[in-house]
Structure 1
């Protein structure tokens, strides 16, 4: 099965590694050669890595109950693609600073997410249930041109209007800080089954937490990183936006296909017929 053409990988610049002076010797098996002091990644290994990762993600997301995949990429080149592809396949993501304990101290993270919902609920019309609102989209509508929360945009009945200007400012700063770091995982109700990471060297804290929790790591990994830390490495350029977009799109496709398989399986399963209660005649 082929999920990507080598020509597409070349066009996206996936084969360009880092300067040879910055390499990690453990990446030797994934390097084809060197050109102008730059390591060239063996795209045959990239295809193999993509195929293994695609199969793995498809398997865990098509299993009973559906697996959860957390997409992680905080570098500038990866942020937009991480959010876009994670949202496309309905999975959580982290594009801002990784908060220590996101996996190893998940209960605390859940408490912070509850606090986020409390703060956002203050901006809703009175008596509106926050569970019935798309809070991420709603709060974007509360921002002004500078990206700050604007009290003038809050409904007249919103609870936030009952506070002093100083308190509104304090609560708004708290809300924006939590939202910036945790909005992408607000619907992550359990620990993920796998992480998809762009640049494991940069995201080393996330990788270490995943290892401690026994969570598999799939990663686009460049020539300066240690592949031994990654369960399913995909050797490739992790600095090029086009390279990152191509690899993430293929991984997100695997998740989309896996989730679709679950839906198809559930729709084809015969519904259990309700059992008839035994009456006196049946007992006789």
Structure 2
């Protein structure tokens, strides 16, 4: 069975590019044609890119490597969290913090600070090292996504502070948690980055290049493919398109994991990420022209 059915790509709208007026000429080799002023991506090139990326990621993970999924645009956030979690890999779905790769020591310090702040909400005498702080803190949050001091144990350290200080500490905790949630368990730099939309994630691409980290990206017709090591030409604005491609790349990580010894497999733990509740549904930016490519 083929890795991906072209019909599935068509139905997901992977072939819809941007308006021809917004194209990057370097994407010419990946473009099939033009319909109603919209560039149509050559799905043969998409399949080739997916195959190369799939084989590479499976190989990386089979050697014990890490793959970081990156997608901070609104359409990609939830998909990146879900697929990276399914593969047991780190992710960045909020703002990419400068230095995430190039100044990793500072990032680790921020993660230590997060653990300190989370530990303040534990009952007195608890050992933070033996607690699942991520799940514990999630249980203290309201539907609005804020920490509720009334839910903290009476013996917790946070109860000893004033309301103003609790508010300040809570904001700090939630800010770090929001930005670094997906990489809190990452103990080393990733071996590869899987990116949705390198135009938006240009800082991540630059940091990866500087650190020698391989980049794989779902890349649309308005982007420059040159900085990306393994480009996958396709619609990077459509939710369905992003879902199809990210799911295949997560599958590649799972295939690689299956080649590891049992003890190493056990170290890669799939995570279930709580679904988001956006106020408005994500907008699919790429227009959908009437004719489809055959």
Aligned-residue CA RMSD (Å)? 1.3
Counterpart for residue 6 of structure 1 = 6
Counterpart for residue 173 of structure 1 = 171
Partner secondary structure for residue 229 of structure 1: coil
Q: Deviations over 1:16-54 (max 9, x none)?
A: 000000000000000000001100000000000000000
Partner secondary structure for residue 224 of structure 1: coil
Partner secondary structure for residue 217 of structure 2: strand
Q: Structure 1 or 2: larger helix share?
A: 1
Counterpart for residue 186 of structure 1 = 184
Question: In 1, Cα distance between the equivalents of 2:199 and 2:87?
Answer: 25
**CA gap 1:71/1:232 in 2 versus in 1, 3 angstroms:** same
- Deviation larger for 79-88 or 144-153: 144-153
Partner secondary structure for residue 69 of structure 2: strand
Counterpart for residue 279 of structure 1 = none
Q: Deviations over 1:1-27 (max 9, x none)?
A: 721000000000000000000000000
Equivalent residue runs for 1:31-70 within 5 Å = 31-63=31-63, 66-70=64-68
Partner secondary structure for residue 262 of structure 1: coil
Whether 1:138 aligns to 2:149 is no
Question: In 2, Cα distance between the equivalents of 1:265 and 1:175?
Answer: 33
Counterpart for residue 273 of structure 2 = none
Count how many residue pairs are aligned between Structure 1 and Structure 2: 265
How far did 1:266 drift? Answer: 6.9
Q: Deviations over 1:104-156 (max 9, x none)?
A: 00000000000000000111122222222222221111112322110001111
**CA gap 1:61/1:167 in 2 versus in 1, 3 angstroms:** same
Question: In 1, Cα distance between the equivalents of 2:124 and 2:259?
Answer: 41
- Deviation larger for 254-263 or 137-146: 137-146
Counterpart for residue 255 of structure 2 = 257
TM-score by structure 1 length?
A: 0.91
Question: In 1, Cα distance between the equivalents of 2:56 and 2:114?
Answer: 33
Q: Deviations over 1:87-107 (max 9, x none)?
A: 101000000000000000000
Partner secondary structure for residue 227 of structure 1: coil
- Deviation larger for 1-10 or 39-48: 1-10
Question: In 2, Cα distance between the equivalents of 1:265 and 1:182?
Answer: 27
Question: In 1, Cα distance between the equivalents of 2:232 and 2:196?
Answer: 10
Question: What residue ranges of structure 2 are gaps of 5+ in the alignment?
Answer: 266-294
Counterpart for residue 29 of structure 2 = 29
Partner secondary structure for residue 77 of structure 1: coil
How far did 1:265 drift? Answer: 9.1
Question: In 2, Cα distance between the equivalents of 1:20 and 1:152?
Answer: 56
Question: In 2, Cα distance between the equivalents of 1:178 and 1:86?
Answer: 19
Q: 2:245 aligns with which of 226, 244, 247?
A: 247
Equivalent residue runs for 1:148-163 within 5 Å = 148-163=146-161
TM-score by structure 2 length?
A: 0.88
Counterpart for residue 195 of structure 1 = 193
Counterpart for residue 278 of structure 1 = none
